Structure formats: C-alpha cells, structure tokens
C-alpha cells in the first residue's frame, strides 16, 4: 500500500490557508516538526514551488517512508532524525537561520497506531513497546516492570487523568509479581478486570492508561513544553506557526505559551504601551479551532483535534 494511502493529513487545507501568507517568497523555509509519513509536507511542497522543507521526526521508520514520498522534490527537502525540542540544533546543522513557517501535528501518528508491533493500541495484542523512536532505551514494558506503585499511580493521574489510577497501579504491581508483563493484552486484561462495569460502559477502560504510558515512554509533555517556546524563538518576523493537538494535556501547554507570548507585558495602568512591552505573537484563530463535521466523517482521527495558530509580530530583544 502506498504511503499516502496509509495517512490522511488532518485539517490540511486549513493548515495551508493559515501558513500560506508566510510561505510565498522564494526560498521560504517551513519546518514540519512532526513529519510522520509526510502528508502535510507533500501538500505544502506541491502548493509552494519555492518552498524549502525541514522535516523532523524521532521515528526512523517514518523518516524512511516520508523520504520515499518526498523524493520527487529533491534538494528542497531536508529530513532530520530529531525530537522537535532540538529544532534549533537541526536548523543550525543545515545552516538555516531564518524560518517562515512551523507546523506541529502532535500525538501518536497513523503509522505508529496502525503498525501493531509498535504496541500503541489497546485494541490489538503486541509487545509493550510504545517508543516513537526505536533507538530509545525506555519501553512501556520497562516502565511497568520497574516503576513503583506510587510512580505508576502518578503517571496514570498526570498523563492519563485517570480517576482509577490507584486501583490500576495496585493491580499491575500484584500481577507483575506473578509473571512479567510483556504484552499489551496482559495489561488490558488487568485493567478490564479492575474496572467496575458501570465505568466500562463509558468507554474502553485501558485508553487513558495506554495514553499515560505512551507519554511517559516518550517524554512527550516535557519535550513539548520546551519545543513550543523554542519554535516561537526560531520564527522570523512575519513567520507563522500552526499546532494541531489531540488531547487536553498537549493543548494546555500550547495554549499557555501562545497566550503568554501574545499578551502585552506592560504594567497595569500604564497610559501608553511602550514598544518593548508589545506582544511577540498575534493569535490567528479565536481559541482552539475544531475540525469540521465533514472532516470528522471522512477522517475519524481528526475528531479530537484542537488547532491553534500564531504570527510573529515582534522579535524579542
């Protein structure tokens, strides 16, 4: 199956519309910080013939597939094996100083969800891996085998917002004393058995635990908290950034940074705002934009998306 058949980019036309004003000049640089299988990247390169793309991804398989897909665009494409909080280092290694557009499409990719052996899905049995970067040492199996009950409880609370975190952590520790937990089906069985029937009717009980483990294994939230401010810093004056987030924890981090840097720093009551107090960013959408009902119907993975977009209107001193 062709790579483009495996992946439908979320909110593609809206993303192009928002970034387009910053990408018109010959040689404009767009950083796709979460390249995945290159769906967004391919569309941008086709739409803007003078565009240079820097594609970052921690997943080596995604980079390989995207490289095949984007090969027709030749030397306009630069792919880098990197986590997006190291964007500045990646740009420096390519000798790129100015960036006109940045795109983040956060969360687990279609490739990672659809490849059963990666262990991201609670609906299919697989090794408890969950690494976005197969070269990283930490796996979900290691987390479940070595974290204390209190540590497991914490990540289920913080990263899964799971109310039954104490019960699940306790049952996991009991189960691992009897046999190693190596398969996702084992974990699902433990969680289901520990979940009251009434709670199960509200949705699959393993969903939040799997989310929490994935975030822990890949340090997703701490990486994101570093990456968004660094991305704002990397933008040239007039540059634009779009962020697609799929769960509240991600969106909260993005919202906090973008709101802070799009607000005046002038003290309350100051009669005239001085230039140094003017905000760095201008918000391009009100709040977080959602996918249309048509898109949700055609691409179910767009259902939870929250889009935020900004323009750089002042370069920090």
Which residues does the annotation place in the binding site for S-adenosyl-L-methionine?
A: 38-40, 57, 84, 105, 112
Residues flagged as binding site: 38-40, 57, 84, 105, 112
Are 64 and 139 in contact by the 8 Å Cβ rule? The answer is: no
Q: Could you give the CA distance from residue 82 to residue 91 in angstroms, rounded to a whole number?
A: 11
Which helix H or strand E contains 78, and what residues bound it?
strand 77-81
**By C-alpha distance, which of 209, 208, 316, 306 is closest to 265?**
316
Q: How many residues does the chain have?
A: 317
Reduced to 3 states (helix: H, G, I; strand: E, B; else coil), residue 235 is: strand
Beta-carbon contacts of residue 103 (< 8 Å; ≥ 6 apart): 15, 19, 30, 31, 32, 33, 34, 40, 241, 242, 243, 244
Q: What token pair was written down for 198? A: 């009434």
**Of 110, 191, 112, 108, residue with least CA distance to 144:** 191
- Helix or strand (DSSP H, E) at 236: strand 235-245
**Number of neighbours of residue 301 by Cβ within 10 angstroms:** 18
Helices (H), the chain: 3-6, 12-19, 39-47, 60-70, 87-93, 110-114, 140-146, 149-160, 165-178, 184-193, 197-200, 207-218, 220-234, 248-261, 293-298
């Amino acid at each position: 199956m062709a790579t483009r058949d495996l992946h439908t980019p979320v909110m593609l036309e809206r993303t192009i519309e928002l970034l387009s004003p910053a990408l018109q000049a010959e040689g404009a640089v767009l950083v796709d910080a979460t390249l995945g299988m290159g769906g967004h990247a391919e569309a941008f390169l086709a739409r803007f013939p003078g565009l240079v793309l820097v594609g970052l991804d921690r997943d080596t398989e995604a980079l390989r597939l995207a490289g095949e897909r984007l090969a027709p665009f030749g030397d306009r494409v630069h792919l880098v094996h990197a986590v997006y909080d190291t964007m500045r280092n990646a740009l420096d290694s390519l000798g790129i100083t100015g960036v006109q557009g940045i795109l983040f499409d956060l969360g687990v990719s279609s490739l990672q969800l659809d490849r059963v052996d990666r262990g991201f899905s609670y609906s299919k049995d697989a090794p408890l891996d969950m690494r976005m970067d197969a070269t990283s040492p930490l796996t979900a199996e290691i987390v479940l085998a070595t974290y204390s009950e209190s540590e497991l409880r914490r990540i289920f609370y913080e990263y899964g917002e799971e109310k039954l975190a104490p019960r699940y952590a306790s049952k996991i520790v009991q189960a691992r004393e009897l046999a190693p937990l190596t398969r996702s089906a084992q974990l699902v069985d433990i969680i289901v058995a520990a979940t009251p029937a009434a709670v199960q009717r509200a949705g699959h009980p393993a969903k939040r635990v799997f989310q929490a483990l994935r975030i822990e294994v890949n340090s997703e939230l701490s990486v994101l908290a570093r990456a968004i401010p660094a991305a704002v810093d990397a933008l040239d004056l007039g540059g634009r950034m779009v962020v697609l987030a799929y769960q509240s924890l991600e969106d909260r981090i993005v919202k906090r940074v973008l709101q802070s840097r799009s607000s005046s720093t002038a003290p309350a009551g100051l009669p005239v705002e001085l230039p140094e107090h003017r905000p760095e960013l201008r918000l391009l959408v009100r709040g977080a934009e959602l996918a249309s009902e048509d898109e949700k119907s055609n691409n179910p993975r767009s259902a939870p998306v929250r889009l935020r977009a900004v323009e750089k209107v002042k370069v920090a001193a």
